[in-house]
Amino acid sequence: MARVDCSKICPEWPCEQPEEFKGVWVVAETDDDGVVEASLQMLTPALRIAEKLGEPVTGILLGPPGVSKLADELIKHGADEVIVVEDEALKDYYPDVHGAVVAELARRYKPSTILIAATSRGREMAPYIANTLRSGITADCTDFDVDEKTRDVLLIRPPFAAIMLAYIRTPTRRPQIGTARPNVFPVPPRDETRQGRVRLEKVDVPKPRARLVSRRKLERREVPIEKAEVVVAGGRGLGGPEGFKLLERLAALLGGVVAGSRKAVDAGWIPPERQVGQTGRSVKPILYIAVGISGAAQHMIGVREARRIVAVNIDPDAPIFNQADYGVVGDYREIIPALIEELEELKKRGPRAIEEILAEQIETAEPGSP
């Protein structure tokens, strides 16, 4: 690998040679239930990058004394080792404090790559780490690869307003930092036999610049769309908020939730936390029913992990039919009531008749399989 000529890079930044940086890190977020699923999902691209670079995968865990008991969860899902910082001052999350601790660990260990799930916390902390380390960051990646010649990680994401993909690299700075939204990658399979090293590190934890006054858990009345097994989504083709009432009925029969395209959100027909896609959320249901949605790339990115896609669209040439497993051409105002009627009939056969059909789908369908 060619050595970097530091005189050509910002003179205020410390000179760095990429070849001196090794290891792929996943900064793990935790909550009351353990390591959050979105962080475990980041082990999938981490393992792929690490294999191509021939480097280990390391999980980073920060928290109060006792957090190290969660290290095993990262190891069982593929991490080779876990670096843990336990400190009472890490009990509450502050982006500047947690970010400073990760940055300090990165100065000590010099990883080549740091991946962070783009949860609200990850989105806040990742740029903080990148700026502290004077390195680059690519947010909301939809894929990662490695340029085998230069050993640069390729951080892949759709650029704004485009159908193509941008391959972004950080050629002269390390670590290479990337985030990906929850549900863009699956959690690697758990392997009970995996063993790994757990290192306890001491870091001087800085004082936060803000103070947590109180914490309140939001009561969710509905299942969030990212967790739903059935998602019925509506787009601009619904023509107004009334169309969503029909979708609510269909979703209720299927035990699912309602979501929408950005056009539906922009029109105020459905709240922003129900938007699917690049600037919304990624979903991974067994069944995704897209009604009056054209199938723009920015929307379809959010349904990559859906097992079965059913599209209802009046236009036989709508792009969504190229990606749907089943397509129904027609006016949703006729198709959806007919479907509701059929399902209501089916339900009369037994309270679990619909669930049984869906369960069959779980067994036979793989994500993205036609």
- Beta pairing, strands 57-63 & 137-138: unpaired
Shorter beta-carbon distance to ligand FAD: residue 45 or 237 = 237
Query: 61: Cβ–Cβ under 8 A, 6 or more apart, which residues?
Result: 28, 30, 35, 67, 68, 70, 71, 74, 82, 83, 84, 85
Residues 154-173 that bind ligand FAD (CB under 6 A): 160-161
182 forms part of the interface with ligand FAD (CB under 6 A): no
Of the residues 51, 331, 341, 360, which one makes contact with ligand FAD according to CB under 6 A: 331
Do 181 and 42 form a contact (C-beta atoms < 8 A)?
Answer: no
Q: Which stretch binds ligand FAD (CB under 6 A): 89-97, 132-140, 270-278, 361-369?
A: 270-278
298 belongs to the binding site for ligand FAD (CB under 6 A):
yes
Told to check if 113 binds ligand FAD by CB under 6 A, we report no
Q: Is 278 in the site for ligand FAD (CB under 6 A)?
A: yes
Query: Which residues within the stretch 11-70 sit at the binding site for ligand FAD (CB under 6 A)?
Result: none
Q: What are 326's strand-pairing partners?
A: 310
- Examine residue 142 and tell whether it contacts ligand FAD (CB under 6 A): no
Residue 231 contacts ligand FAD per CB under 6 A: no
Q: How far is the CB of 4 from ligand FAD (least distance, A)?
A: 33
Question: Is 139 one of the binding residues for ligand FAD (CB under 6 A)?
Answer: no
Tell me which residues touch ligand FAD (CB under 6 A): 160-161, 235-237, 261-264, 275-280, 292-294, 296, 298-299, 312-315, 318, 331-333
